[in-house]
Homo-oligomer: A and B are copies of this chain.
Amino acid sequence: MDSLDISGTTAPTGTLDALTERAATLDELNALAHTRDRFLIPPGTVYLDGNSLGALPAAVPAALDDAVRRQWGRGLISSWFDEGWWDAPPRIGDRIGALIGAAPGQVVAGDSTSVQLFNTLTAAARLRGGRRVLLTDPGHFPTDAYLTDSVAELLDLEVRRVPAPGVPAALAEYGDRVGVLSYPIVDYRTGELWDLPGLTRAAHDVGAVTVWDLCHGAGAIPIGLDESEVDFAVGCTYKYLSGGPGSPAYAYIAARHHGDVRHPLTGWHGHADPFAMQDSYTPAEGIARARVGCPPLLSLLALEAALTAFDGVELADVRATSLSLTGFFIECCDALLADRDVRVGTPREPEHRGSQVAVRHRDAVGLVPELALRSVLCDKREPDILRFGFNALYNTHADALTAIRVLRDLTE
């Protein structure tokens, strides 16, 4: 099990004093304690909604001011090349790639997750043109569900919705008709972590390709895209990557597919020779063919600055701290909320857990604003889920305990 070495600390006694002491000890032992200073978090705020919008990295304001005043204001049009704007999508893509186990040249940043999903799902389905079934998660995030249906309509595919644990059985039954598997790495409601390597192998065994949605995992969990031989992946950057509100998404395409993929979004930035202004589309070599139109540079450059919060950070440490935080949070829940009508809705086994914990309570919807009034920020998914997201780069064990203490007061 990945977790912090807590030898020397005493086992939890369940009492508040003991938990307070234990939180302090775990925070002292946290290998990533120093990265909290890389974020500008309002004093006194317990921010446990970084799985929805990451906190502001300290590097962003100055970088963006430079992008605006100097690069745009003074460099004007020349900044497209002199300041590297043109190369930003693949350059920032590579930086994201390093966090999701992708060697350089396979990730491009830009557009929204929805747009990347449409573009990637269509390209994936075309790659397995003879196979009509697209297998996806009935609990997938809504935008994934909607775009899957849209792609299916355009390409005349059949969508089958099978929960991740049922995929091997489904593939055994009709795997020869499955072209694409489209799954999330982490369930957005429960925080359950799915078996990316295993499902990818299972897909390949029947000749299908995989499209993974990494939104709820990237930056929190080591994801070995290359190692697991994933075919395609997309993800947002405003959750654990803390790129800012609506910061551009990304698409990963394994290098072995670069020569064959055909995207529907044939924007001129993905052309082999974009400035030749040719009449017809010839896709660029490599990952550049996944580029679409002109990317939102200010948001993109803010994202690039935000990613420096990961400089020198090992994903294994991120995962260890994350599991320590979520594990301690569950421990506090058990110890302090045992007599409340509350239950943990996220797997207790670390290997099945992302970096968020779902707490189920019949009044989850009403509790979110009450928690916020007490400076504990989390969010909800109807009807009964409170979501507490932990970002190992800035959250503390003290945050976890405070959240549970406030929840205990509110559910009295």
**Stretch of A97-105, A162-170, A264-272 at the chain-chain interface:** A264-272
Given known contacts A61-B69, A266-B146, A280-B146, A246 and B115 CB-to-CB distance under 8 angstroms: no
Residues of B within 8 A of A302 (CB): 68, 298
Residues of B within 8 A of A35 (CB): none
Residues of B within 8 A of A49 (CB): 76-77
The answer to whether A113 and B294 touch across the interface, beta carbons within 8 angstroms, is yes
The answer to whether A267 and B114 touch across the interface, beta carbons within 8 angstroms, is yes
Tell yes or no: A248 within 8 A of B by CB.
yes
The answer to whether A294 and B246 touch across the interface, beta carbons within 8 angstroms, is yes
> Which of the residues B40, B56, B111, B150 comes within 8 Å of A264, measured between beta carbons?
B150
Residues of B within 8 A of A150 (CB): 264-266, 281
The answer to whether A112 and B111 touch across the interface, beta carbons within 8 angstroms, is yes
Residues of B within 8 A of A111 (CB): 111-112, 115, 293
Tell yes or no: A85 within 8 A of B by CB.
yes
A105 to B: closest C-beta gap in Å: 22
Q: Which residue of B lies closest to A299 (CB)?
A: B296
Tell yes or no: A53 within 8 A of B by CB.
yes
Given known contacts A143-B267, A150-B264, A296 and B114 CB-to-CB distance under 8 angstroms: no
Given known contacts A64-B68, A377-B77, A149 and B296 CB-to-CB distance under 8 angstroms: no
**Per-position binary interface string of chain A over residues 41-64, scored 1 when its CB falls under 8 Å from any chain B CB and 0 otherwise:** 010010101001101100011001
The answer to whether B298 and A265 touch across the interface, beta carbons within 8 angstroms, is no
A122 to B: closest C-beta gap in Å: 8
> Which of the residues B138, B246, B292 comes within 8 Å of A114, measured between beta carbons?
B292
Q: Which residue of B lies closest to A292 (CB)?
A: B114
Residues of B within 8 A of A246 (CB): 85, 294-298, 300
The answer to whether B65 and A245 touch across the interface, beta carbons within 8 angstroms, is no
Tell yes or no: A238 within 8 A of B by CB.
yes
Residues of B within 8 A of A112 (CB): 111, 267, 292-296
Residues of B within 8 A of A297 (CB): 244-246, 299
Tell yes or no: A381 within 8 A of B by CB.
yes
The answer to whether B147 and A245 touch across the interface, beta carbons within 8 angstroms, is no
**Which chain A residues in 110-130 approach chain B with CB under 8 Å?**
111-115, 118
Given known contacts A279-B142, A297-B299, A265 and B53 CB-to-CB distance under 8 angstroms: no
Question: A56 vs B238: C-alpha distance in the bound complex, in angstroms?
Answer: 26
Chain A interface residues (CB < 8 Å from chain B) = 40, 42, 45, 47, 49, 52-53, 55-56, 60-61, 64-65, 68-69, 71-74, 76-80, 85, 111-115, 118, 138, 141-143, 145-147, 149-150, 154-155, 236, 238, 244-249, 264-269, 271, 274-281, 292-300, 302, 372, 377, 379, 381-382
Q: Would you give 5 A-B contacts (Cβ < 8 Å), ordered by A? A: A111-B112, A112-B292, A149-B280, A244-B297, A246-B298
